[in-house]
Structure formats: C-alpha cells, structure tokens
C-alpha cells in the first residue's frame, strides 16, 4: 500500500471517529465515568466529615474528664473507638471491597455508639453541661453529625445511580465494551438513628 493510500485510510478513519464521537456521547457512553466521578466525590465528603468528627473527640474527652474523671470506662471506650476508626488503613479498592467497606462502617458505628454513651453520662453532670467549652464542642459535634448524615445520603444516591447504570441497558453495553473494570460499588446500609447525636438539655445558660 502506498504512502498516499495509507494517509487516505487514516483520514477516513479519523473522519469516521469524529462522526461517531457525538453519536456515542448522545447514547450515554460517557455516563459511566461521569457517575464514577460523582461517587468518588461523595465518598471524599464522607471521609472528610468522619475525620472532622474524629478531630473533635480528643477535646471533648478531655473536657468531660475534667468534670467526670471517674467515668473512666466510658471515656476509654470513646478513645479506643476513635483509635480503631482512624488508624485503620483503607484499601484503594474499598468501594468495591465488601469486607473492607463493612469494617469501615462498623468502626464508625462503634464510635457513634461510644459517643452516645458518653453523652448519656454527661446528663449527670450539670456543671459540665453549663461549661462554655463543652457547649461549643457539642454544637460542633452535632453539626458534624448532621454533615455526616448528608454525606452518607449523597453517597448512597451516587452509588445507586452508578450501580444502576452499569447493570441496565444501555449502560451495561458500554460497561462491557469500554469500561470492563467497572464494578458494583458498596454503599452504606440504613441504620436508623445511628447518625443522630443525643440532644443534651443545657438548660438556661448563665448570664
């Protein structure tokens, strides 16, 4: 084949691809990577909010310890739960690794439960509840728990859209042809009340 013939062949191939690209885009071939990026962004927010909560725990524990030092067992439970939640190395494939995702969710739920027990104990210490630093920490913690709930909800929605796309027509076709590494992603299971911090009645603040 002559050089001229090769050039013409490549030109025709290039023109065909230019014509084909809009057709593929219109058919949704880009939907899978788009939804994948949305899942990644939602997961990053989940991690950010859980880290925000973990960062509040040391100050909260120390503040409570100043008024209720003999509640050692409850305080240690919170410290240990935080350590387990923050020191676990997350594998790169956590969103497609059911066991790793389950361990992550369980460790975060353990910290939620430990914090709930700590805040229940606080009810027995009115001076602690009136402490300005404690009130500030509680406001930050409650705000963070609300952000966690929103981040989890957004992640669940993003994963549902992605998983549906790669399992249904025409997404399953694009996944088979262009995105063979696309796998079903893990998401959070519903845990009623798990992300709600018990409300502490501070009563009337000192003037």
Structure tokens at 25: 């885009």
Distance, CA of 166 to CA of 164 (rounded, Å): 6
pLDDT digits (tens, 9 = 90+) for 159-202: 999 999 999 999 999 999 999 999 999 999 866 554 455 454 44
For domain 45-199, the question of CATH label 1.20.1440.20 is answered with yes
Whose tokens are 């027509």? That residue is 169
Q: Where are the chain's structural domains?
A: 45-199
Average pLDDT for the chain: 86
User: What global pTM score does this model have?
Assistant: 0.82
């Amino acid at each position: 084949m002559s050089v001229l013939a090769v050039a013409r062949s490549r030109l025709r191939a290039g023109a065909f691809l230019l014509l084909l690209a809009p057709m593929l885009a219109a058919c949704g071939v880009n939907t899978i990577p788009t939804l994948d990026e949305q899942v990644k962004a939602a997961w990053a927010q989940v991690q950010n909010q859980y880290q925000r909560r973990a960062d509040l725990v040391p100050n909260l524990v120390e503040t409570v310890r100043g008024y209720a030092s003999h509640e050692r067992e409850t305080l240690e439970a919170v410290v240990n739960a935080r350590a387990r939640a923050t020191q676990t190395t997350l594998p790169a494939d956590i969103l497609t690794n059911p066991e790793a995702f389950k361990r992550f969710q369980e460790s975060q739920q353990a910290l939620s439960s430990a914090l709930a027990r700590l805040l229940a104990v606080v009810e027995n210490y009115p001076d602690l509840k009136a402490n300005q630093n404690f009130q500030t920490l509680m406001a930050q913690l409650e705000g963070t728990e609300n952000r966690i709930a929103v981040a989890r909800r957004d992640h669940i929605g993003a994963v549902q859209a992605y998983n549906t796309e790669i399992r249904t027509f025409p997404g399953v076709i694009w996944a088979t042809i262009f995105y063979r590494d696309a796998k079903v992603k893990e998401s959070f299971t519903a845990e009623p009340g798990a992300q709600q911090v018990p409300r502490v009645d501070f009563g009337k603040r000192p003037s």
